[in-house]
Structure 1
Amino acid sequence: MPQPDLTLTPAGPALAPRYSDRHTAAAGTPTPPPAAIPTPRNSYLRLFAVPGARAFIVGNLIARLPMGMFGVSAVIMIAGAYDSYALAGGVTATGMAAGALTAPWVARLVDRYGQARVAVPATAYAVLGHLVLLLCVHEKAPVWALFATTALTATSPNTGGMSRARWAHLLKGDRDALHTANAFEQATDELCFMLGPVVAALLCSTLFPEAGTLVGAALFLTGVLIFAAQRSTEPPVSPRTSAGSPLRVRGMAPLLAVFLATGAVFGSMEVVTVAFVDGPVAGPVLALQAAGSCAAGLLYGRAHRTARLRTCLAAMALLMTMPLLAASTGSLPALAAGLLLAGMATAPTMVTGMGLVQRLTPASQLNEGMTLAVTALLGGIAAGSATGGWAADHAPFAAFGFLIPAGAAALALTLCAATRVDGRA
């Protein structure tokens, strides 16, 4: 009941109702709630509707595209200047090895001090390394200088891991939305590693050999600056604890072993496919695997029920036999179709695996945990590339090399079953 107000009238003070009779009569009726803002039905549109998400997605996309450009650009640049693909491959392999060693330490600093405080100077230092390498190649410096300067690029932060950490922070408690976000990130990885080499080769061939490295360095720094500027979505820095490496978390080491074997699938498949096709169409044919993975990842992200890791690995082991069977026919279109099918198993496997890493890793060490997974994956890619190259050189028959990725997929499944590392993302 509204309380009356004391008002002055010509007859003296009088009590008057605070509200009009109409409002008083309506006081007992409930006020209708405000109209709800419609929520997009598409799961990916709901991700983009998260406040601040679009800005950091754009920055991260710009920063991740060069990850697929630097390797090809360095090979073209060094091989053109020194007339040696062996030297070019050795220098790029050295850069990858140095990055694999330093990545967990950079990620630990990101967890401890924040993404913006660490990622920006680390990126600036890595970009400086790429530019110094470019100058050394342009001036035809001694070979040892190339190996020394490529190690300077090892401070590159794991932009994909930082993006996944933001989603884990923004979508905490919503497993379905986080699953969709992980699928989107995996599809982004596939897209960048599919487009990056194409863009790099185009720039180096149409402009000048150093163009790919220059453009890649500019995009990398610009993207990280845009990404780091979105402070509203940055995960808070957790208090420093005495917790050891995420490697000590129960189940993490066996899971990383599965990532190592999975990386061998990717590395060997790339080498044996290039060796089998042996022509200018090798790139487009190989890109079909990434295209299949990208499409499957986006579809998997919309699924309401996720698969267990063992199920994903079993599907990958089965589908990795498709390129082997297709190559046995000697038909290039058949191989292209086989690679497309094989690629459809890789993204769901990676999405589920990364989801398990997020579940096992403490929130205060999330960047470090995911970077360890990426490091294991890169180690597997390097081992798979070496094994695939040996198989291609010593193959008793043309399709022999495709036994390597099929065997690596079977090994990943066996490790998962033997160590009982399983679960849904």
Structure 2
Amino acid sequence: MLAPYRRLFSAKGSVGFTTTGFLARLALSMSGVGTVVMVAAVRHSYALAGAVGGASLAATLITVPLLGRLVDRYGQSRTAVPAAVWSAAMSAALVVCLATGAPTWTLFVTDILSATAPNVGGMARARWAEIYGDDADRMHAANSFEQVLDETCFVLGPIIVVALATGIAPEAGRVAPLVLTLGGTVLFSLQRGTEPPVRPAGPAVARSPLTNRGLQVMMLVFLFAGSLFGSLEVVTIALTDALHHRSSAGPVLALQAVGSALAGLLYGMLTPRGSSTTRFLAGVGGMAVLMLPLTLAGGLWSLVPLMFIAGTATSPTMITGMGLVQELIPRSQINEGMTLAVTSLLGGSSLGSTLAGWSVARFGAQNSYVLPVGAAALALLTAAAGLGRLRESVSAAPAPALAGDRTELGQRA
């Protein structure tokens, strides 16, 4: 059953960039939680902690696409290492400001300036696309594996942060991702044999992927999908609190991620059927359908299996969606295109979290599950309405990398 993954890692250097990249990706899942836990513990204010973390997230929505464009223009190692060094330095400054009792405004400034951690997950997907870009089956397995890694980081990151913050010191939960960001990015960048070469954009390539009509549809769908994830997290935490099981919030949310990861692992073993656009629409439809039972959750024991089931459509949809983005975007802009997709998810998550907080306060936690259900429905309507545009954009997309480019990469490896 694991044959697709064994074939995937037959390429030289694939194990190296995957393992080193995992460290930096784990750091990304820890930084936000680490900031909130650290600020709340030292300044005794969750409002301040949330505001500082939110300011950094807002900055990330700007810096991540810009870094993606720089990676396409100058290469992964030349861009990622300086960005990681700067992010680590500003993260260290944040810890120092908090420990020394510096004014509150310094926390906002340092945390915003630390939002330059490179999107190593996108760069890893770009390496797979460079190695197996014209092999649909192996790219399917690669995207599946990458999504499982994302879900694994989502589960492990917060657990590690809380363990460090409570077992050592509040600052430890923020220092650890600082070290992982710097160390993981440097080690990842040292895997030069699999780094995609910089490709000048051809005369027919638009200046920005944002002009791609198909990518516009994908970004809007991802915006609603991110709203689904953000609202689901806040509403679930509020419901467990209302049921007097606040400590169960983490495990319950982890179940959703576990369901997604298992589904992604199994999905990667299958041979995809039909067009990528049709599979993406079916995946978004599955997410919408599997969210509906959550409105019936009346207690903790009914919530647990429903969260696991709700997560099973997530990874297959994201796997197909990220593969579709790779089809739409020319190789010379693949990093920027991938980061734009991720930015849409992050922006939607922030929007969903905000709306969910308002809804919980006004209508209660159980009634607020209509928010993720509604977000899933909007994602489905957008995907269905934009299906024709997606098919046109895929048909007009440039062909994968030339065989000569692949031979050159193999020689470098």
- Relative to the length of structure 2, the TM-score reads 0.90
Structure 1 residue 203: deviation in Å?
A: 0.2
Following the alignment from structure 2 to structure 1, what is the Cα–Cα distance between the partners of residues 289 and 213?
Answer: 29
Distance 1:121 1:379 in 2: 25
Cα-to-partner distance string for 1:45-90 (whole Å, 9 max, x where unaligned): 1112211100001101111111111111111111112111000000
Instruction: Give the Å deviation of 1:111.
Output: 0.6
1:360 aligns with 2:345: no
User: C-alpha separation between the residues in 2 aligned to 1:123 and 1:322?
Assistant: 42
Q: Residue 248 of structure 1 aligns with which residue?
A: 211
2:182 to 221, 224, 228: 221
Distance in 2 between the 1:92 and 1:254 partners?
29
Alignment equivalent of 1:348, drawn from 316, 326, 334: 316
RMSD: 1.4
Contact 1:308 1:422 in 2 (8 A): no
Confirm or deny that 1:163 pairs with 2:163: no
Amino acid at match of 1:408: A
Q: Which has the higher contact order (CA 8 A, sep 6+)?
A: 2
Partner of 1:23: none
Deviation at 1:309, TM superposition (A): 1.0
In 2, the alpha carbon distance for the partners of 1:156 and 1:172 equals 26
Matching residue's letter, 1:258: V
* C-alpha displacement of 1:314: 0.7
Report if the CA contact (8 A) 2:213-2:390 is conserved. Answer: no
Identity fraction in percent:
48
Q: Residue 322 of structure 1 contacts residue 341 of structure 1 at CA under 8 Å; is this kept in 2?
A: no
1:27 matched residue in structure 2 = none
> Are 1:296 and 2:233 counterparts?
no
- 2:251 pairs with 257, 267, 284, which one? 284
Partner Cα separation in structure 2 for residue 371 and residue 195 of structure 1: 23
Distance 1:41 1:257, change over 3 A: closer
- 1:117 partnered with 2:111: no
- Amino acid of the structure 1 residue aligned with 2:221: V
Q: How does 1:264-283 map to 2 (within 5 A)?
A: 264-278=227-241, 279-283=246-250
Q: Which moved more, 1:248-257 or 1:367-376?
A: 248-257
Matched, 1:66 2:27: yes
Distance 2:188 2:107 in 1: 30
Alpha-carbon offset, residue 334 of structure 1: 1.2
- 1:173 is paired with a residue of what secondary structure? coil
Q: Is the 8 A contact 2:4 2:269 kept in 1?
A: yes
Aligned partners of 2:150 and 2:365: how far apart in 1?
31
CA–CA separation in structure 2 for the residues paired with 1:309 and 1:240: 28
Matches within 5 A, 1:196-211: 196-211=157-172
- Give the counterpart letter for 2:385 in structure 1: A
The 1-side partners of 2:280 and 2:365 are apart by 32
The residue that corresponds to 1:372 in the other structure is 340
* Aligned residue type for 1:388: A
SS at match of 2:349: helix
Partner of 2:191: 230
The structure in which a higher percent of residues are helix is: 2
- 2:137 counterpart residue number: 176
> 1:336 aligns to what?
304
Distance in 2, matches of 1:422 and 1:280, equals 43
1:313 paired with 2:284, answer: yes
Q: Give the distance between the partners of 1:50 and 1:388, measured in 2 at CA.
A: 44
How many residues are paired up?
381
Partner of 1:24: none
**Pair 41,277 (structure 1): closer, same or farther in 2 beyond 3 Å:** closer
> What SS does the aligned partner of 1:155 have?
coil
Alpha-carbon distance between aligned partners in 1 of 2:178 and 2:42, rounded to the nearest angstrom: 20
CA distance change for structure 1 residues 174 and 359 in 2, over 3 Å: closer, same or farther?
same
Structure number with greater Rg is 1
Cα distance in structure 2, aligned partners of 1:304 and 1:401: 38
Aligned: 1:53 with 2:20: no
The Cα shift of 1:333 comes to: 1.5
Shift of 1:214: 1.2
Shift in CA distance, 147/398, structure 1 to aligned 2, threshold 3 Å: closer
Q: Deviations over 1:392-421 (max 9, x none)?
A: 1111x5411111001100000001111225
Q: 2:48 aligns with which of 87, 96, 118?
A: 87
TM-score (norm 1): 0.87
1:190 partner amino acid? E
Contact 2:2 2:269 in 1 (8 A): no
Residue 411 (str. 1) matches residue 411 (str. 2): no
Stretches of 4+ aligned residues off by more than 6 angstroms: none
Shift of 1:172: 2.0
One-letter code aligned to 1:400:
N
Whether 1:152 and 2:123 are equivalent positions in the alignment is: no
1:263 aligns with 2:226: yes
Deviation at residue 41 of structure 1 after TM alignment? 6.5
3-state SS, counterpart of residue 115 of structure 2: helix
Per the alignment, residue 25 of structure 1 pairs with none
Q: Look up the equivalent residue of 2:305 and give its one-letter code.
A: A
Aligned-pair distance for 1:331? 2.2
Are residues 135 and 41 of structure 1, via their aligned partners in 2, closer, same or farther at CA, if it must alter by over 3 Å?
A: closer
Alignment partners' CA distance in 1, 2:179 and 2:218: 35
Q: Which amino acid aligns with 1:45?
A: R
